[in-house]
Amino acid sequence: MKVQIDDSILIQKYISGDERALETLIERHNRRISSFIYSKVNDRGITEDIFQEAFIKVIRTLKRGTYNEEGKFLPWIMRIAHNLIIDHFRKNNRMPMYQGGDAYNMLSLMGDDKLDIESQIIKDQIDSDLRLLVEELPEDQREVLIMRIYKDMSFKEISENTGVSINTALGRMRYALINLRKIVSENNIALTN
Amino acid sequence: MGKIYTKNNNKVNLVQAKPETIEFLLNYSKSLNVATIKGVQYESNMN
């Protein structure tokens, strides 16, 4: 028949220098403590870390001789583990750990701004369709729109180049856009990416 | 009568610290030395 040595005796043995007593204590309570930690943190790696940290505290306290025999060993280490779990969550609140998922994807931070091939083809198609629509505009409106959009000229430059006032250039641009929208809507053209 | 096979799906009860972790703790314990000099405790780790 196997007799189980009481935790308090194992602690006394350990304090007296018997290192095997610690091994017995750890193995005896391993599953219970690990399960408790895991039930709170739900991560095996973190469970392992907290378990280790809890026992390091136990070892240091016992070696320093500051262990209070009033309570029992298991409730004591459980309380240590519980405090470490709270510390873990506090630390994570200050410094949240992001994991890959739909809400947050690390790759999205690393990507470049270039369009993928499919989006680029669609964009080229829209650009070429728009060019054809611009050709349908009256000459004066088309001229202003091309200068403004494709040549990136200011309205001041447009007015100097076309010999009309800035207000006229602005008005022609406005009508150009209105007419473009009209053509798009009348012909049910889709210009979306 | 058909046998009923049940599987323990409660992962919480299956978790336990790895042997490496236990090994680390035992080695840490062996290497840790606490000395009291003039009422002040000093910890030293002899690896």
- Reported ipTM: the value is 0.76
User: Is B15–A60 a contact, with Cβ atoms under 8 angstroms apart?
Assistant: no
User: Is B24–A31 a contact, with Cβ atoms under 8 angstroms apart?
Assistant: no
B13: tokens are 């009860």
User: Is B22–A23 a contact, with Cβ atoms under 8 angstroms apart?
Assistant: yes
Task: Please list the pLDDT of chain A residue by residue as tens digits (193 residues).
Answer: 566 788 889 999 999 999 999 999 999 999 999 999 998 898 999 999 999 999 999 999 999 888 877 768 899 999 999 999 999 998 877 655 555 555 555 555 565 667 778 778 888 888 888 888 888 889 999 999 999 988 888 899 899 888 999 999 999 999 999 988 888 888 777 766 5
Q: Mind telling me how many Å the CA of B6 is from chain A's nearest CA? A: 21
Q: Mind telling me how many Å the CA of B21 is from chain A's nearest CA? A: 7
Distance of CA A96 to the CA centre of its chain: 9
Q: Mind telling me how many Å the CA of A89 is from chain B's nearest CA? A: 19
Judge residue B34's burial from the number of C-beta atoms within 10 Å of its C-beta, 0-12 exposed, 13-18 middle, 19 or more buried: middle
Whole-structure pTM value: 0.54
- List, in sequence order, the alpha helices (H) in chain B: 19-31
Residues 6+ apart with CB under 8 A from A159: A165, A166, A168, A169
